[in-house]
Amino acid sequence: MLIGIVRAQPHLMRILEGMRTLALPDALLGSGAIYNTVWNTLTHRPPLTGIKDADVVYFDAGDRSYEAEDAIIRKAQVEFAALPIPVEVRNQARVHLWFPEKFGVPYPELSCSADMMLNFASKTHAVAVRLEDDGAISVHAPFGLDDIFAFGSRPTPGSTMRELMLKRRRGPSVSGRN
């Protein structure tokens, strides 16, 4: 069912095709562009309702520099310029380098793009797709698809993002440390 929903959305298919054009290693399209598309389809809402951007990730451990990632981001901006939503592109091999400083919590070094979903706050968010060379769409959902189709939002075990959100809600402690 998920693959049929993705195939029925021209903007998602254009992103998946653009990912192949860019030749991004281990590329995945996930998060809000996927779960909101499912929910929009199931509730008969307009296709882009609630979708603020499309998250495209790739994994290139061979060059973890900011400059290499920025060059890919700039190419992606050109590739996806005509889309009705912005496409955010990030190298998952780099996240552990900048995440702790930006968010104040550690982030594990990943071994592939799909590993990112193990750190998502919600099982619903942990769904991504890829257009394979043979035209098939592969689905990556380490916690399954039950929550996305049940409009659920259960937390993932060991979630880095969940820890971050809890830390932000608590605010600074009396000692000034979180």
Q: What is the CA radius of gyration of the chain?
A: 17
Q: If you search the block for the tokens 């890829």, which residue do you land on?
A: 130
Average pLDDT over all residues of the chain: 90
pLDDT surpassing 90 at residue 55:
yes
Q: What is the pLDDT of residues 23-47, one digit of tens each?
A: 999 999 998 999 999 999 999 999 9
pLDDT surpassing 70 at residue 173:
no
DSSP characters over 40-97:
HHHHT--TTTT---EEEEE--TT---HHHHHHHHHHHHHHTTTSSS-EEEEETTTHHH
Q: What is the pLDDT of residues 102-160, one digit of tens each?
A: 888 888 999 999 999 998 888 999 999 999 999 999 999 999 999 999 998 888 876 65
Domains observed in the chain: 2-170 (3.30.460)
Percentage above 90 pLDDT, the chain: 75
173: burial class by Cβ within 10 Å (0-12, 13-18, 19+)? exposed
Q: What is the pLDDT of residues 62-108, one digit of tens each?
A: 999 999 999 999 999 999 999 999 999 999 999 999 999 988 888 89
pLDDT surpassing 60 at residue 53:
yes
Bridge pairing between strands 87-91 and 28-30: unpaired
pLDDT surpassing 90 at residue 3:
yes
pLDDT surpassing 60 at residue 176:
no
